[in-house]
Amino acid sequence: MSYKHLALPLLTLSLLAFPTLSTAEDAALEPMVVTATRTPTPLSQLGSSVTLITADDIERRQFQTLTDALKDVPGLMVVQSGVMGSQTSVFMRGTNSDHVLVLIDGVEMNDPSSPNGSFDFAHFLLDDIDSIEIVRGSQSVLYGADAIGGVIQIRTITGEGPVKIRGKVEVGMNSTHHETVAISGSEGDFDYSLTMGLLKTEGESIATEKRQSPFATEFDNDGYDNQVLSTKLGWTPSERFATHFSARYIKTETDIDAGFDFFGNTLEDEDAKNYSDQLYLAADAIGHFFDDRWQAIVAVSRADIERKNRNDRQDPFGTLERTDYEGIKDKFSLQNDFSFLANNLITLGFEYEDEEMTGEGFTDFGGFIIDQQSDADRQTKSAYLQDQFNINDQLFATVGIRYDEPDDFDAETTYRATANYALTQNTHLRGAYGTGFKAPSLFQLYGYTPNNFFSAYYGNPDLKSETSKGWEIGFDQTFWNDNAIANITYYKTEVDDLISTEFLPSFDSTTINHDKVDLKGLETSLLIAATTDIDVNLSYTYTHTRDENDQELLRRPKNKASIDIAFQATKKMTLSTSALYTGSRKDVDGFGQRIDMGGYTIFNVAVNYELTDTVRIFTRIDNLGNKTYEPAYGYQALGMAGYIGLEISNR
């Protein structure tokens, strides 16, 4: 299995017919990425740092969730607060978890009702995913707020050709079972795909043995239930017009352990549960005019995220909780791509976004009551302009500017420039410089949470946006007769006016613009086709973070490394082994004190066997060696777990 064979899925990505600066020959020879420029661009022509995960990668390594797929991506730190279904955050290049924008087929998935407006990565299954594009570094010029750290865009499968039917069943440790049924294809001018998935597990206790509360009598397994239904439809009546519709519904139920006791230990809670209902809708129409020199894309989308927390009181001093949250984000956009000049593509876009959030209910901690009484909305108008050009097929560059005008705080202007220069056919130098911003969340601006001690949290409507400026420089080298690719990137970012919570003399609390952080780091990767049957992918990330008090940011290790080995044992069997090392990092304990958390290494193994052209058997072991570790203080990760499954399809 050579490197070229491994890369073949990248070269056949199904993309919309956007204009591009590359020639047809170029497009056929290398992978294309859309997120970095909003138009399909060959990977070798990008100045931004990009990682592309394909459907073949997902199948080979048997990733179940988005969390699984992102763990060994350079520049990312994935922190899951416990076992499957627990709150999961991603820190990109040392920035905060709310500095990462997540999209599914163009729909923004960040939750307007969460305290900081971030996305919870815990609940996204990969049953219908075609590719995942991760673009690191500020992308505010093209995507506005929430993209200081970068953008993660998920693309679902587009139906093509005769009808394809796929069914998958997987079972494993902790009474885990995962079922998928999917159908896709195209007929004439229409294409379609429909996927239904179910993942259910009894799980393990989130509480670690060494930090379990002495009041607990036994461990309580924390189960998880995830149901997903998704569809994607397209109609292309002519070469000059196409329209698409996509929908995704996710329903989850998660058992949790709620907080810490007076000794700072994790409390077991047999009936604390979180529920979520998530709906993502998108539709677009694409027109080509003036001999394909102008392409217009009109798109609308909606994200509707409902979360419920329920917990009955086990004793007079226990917790009673009944809180409901809902975040809605509606968006209209118009993107125009103009290619009137040779080797030049201008993108001009307009967007209108409406965000709403509500929070209601209460949490009673043995008589200490916290109410949720929040209701707010915001409208934002935006315009952006980008020029993407090619000079002598050697220098590929972009320059862009964006203007965002929210109705509840000051407008923001951001800019970004990137370049990729081909020193030789096998050697590329690339770089980028740009600014970004993160708008205050609706809760930070207008949230209101009173308690029974005559004090409350008050949002601060005078907050400013968090802003950033940063640069990166990278070097890509292909060698060993194109059987190896190495790259190295150094970056530096400064984020100002970070929003933090401040406690007032009145015992009230609010949010203020206070902190400033400096971030810098190194990202490296090496992909080697060691033999015709073995491919090796190595990566290393160094992250240096400092706040204005010269302290490291929490949960962001300095060192992270991974290795993934794919071995084509026979024509029908593939063996994948991987190891992920996470270095020591800072966290806070149950009393809110900063502590050191030790590093850990996790080993995973996966085997795929093509029994026939239509039947695949697969098995894997996660956390081989049963390593006990805490991704976040007080929350234990899943121990060693084995799974086996069967997939039948007519592909």
- The confidence score (pLDDT) of residue 275 equals 96
* Digit-coded pLDDT (tens) for 276-317: 999 999 999 999 999 999 999 999 999 999 999 998 877 666
Average pLDDT on 577-605 reads 93
| C-alpha to C-alpha distance for 183 and 506, rounded to whole angstroms | 60
* Digit-coded pLDDT (tens) for 597-641: 999 999 999 999 999 999 999 999 999 999 999 999 888 888 899
Over 50: is that where the pLDDT of 20 sits?
Answer: no
Average pLDDT on 172-198 reads 97
* Digit-coded pLDDT (tens) for 127-149: 999 999 999 999 999 999 999 99
- The confidence score (pLDDT) of residue 27 equals 41
* Digit-coded pLDDT (tens) for 199-234: 999 988 776 665 555 555 566 788 999 999 999 999
Over 50: is that where the pLDDT of 18 sits?
Answer: no
- The confidence score (pLDDT) of residue 30 equals 78
Count of beta carbons in the 10 Å neighbourhood of residue 583: 18
DSSP 157: P
- β-pairing, 41-42 vs 32-33, is antiparallel
- The confidence score (pLDDT) of residue 503 equals 82
Nearest to 306 by CA among 236, 244, 357, 362: 357
- The confidence score (pLDDT) of residue 19 equals 37
* Digit-coded pLDDT (tens) for 364-382: 876 778 888 889 999 999 9
* Digit-coded pLDDT (tens) for 331-369: 999 999 999 999 999 999 999 999 999 999 988 876 778
| C-alpha to C-alpha distance for 382 and 73, rounded to whole angstroms | 31
- The confidence score (pLDDT) of residue 2 equals 38
Over 50: is that where the pLDDT of 8 sits?
Answer: no
Burial 148-185 (b: 16+ CB within 10 A, else e): bbbbbbbbbbbbeeeebebebebebbbebebbbebbbe
Highest mean pLDDT of the ranges 112-116, 151-155, 222-226, 312-316? 151-155
Mean model confidence pLDDT for the chain? 90
* Digit-coded pLDDT (tens) for 270-283: 778 999 999 999 99
Cβ contact 552:20 at 8 Å: no
- The confidence score (pLDDT) of residue 371 equals 83
Over 50: is that where the pLDDT of 58 sits?
Answer: yes
Q: List domains and CATH numbers for the chain.
A: 3-649 (2.40.170.20)
| C-alpha to C-alpha distance for 596 and 589, rounded to whole angstroms | 10
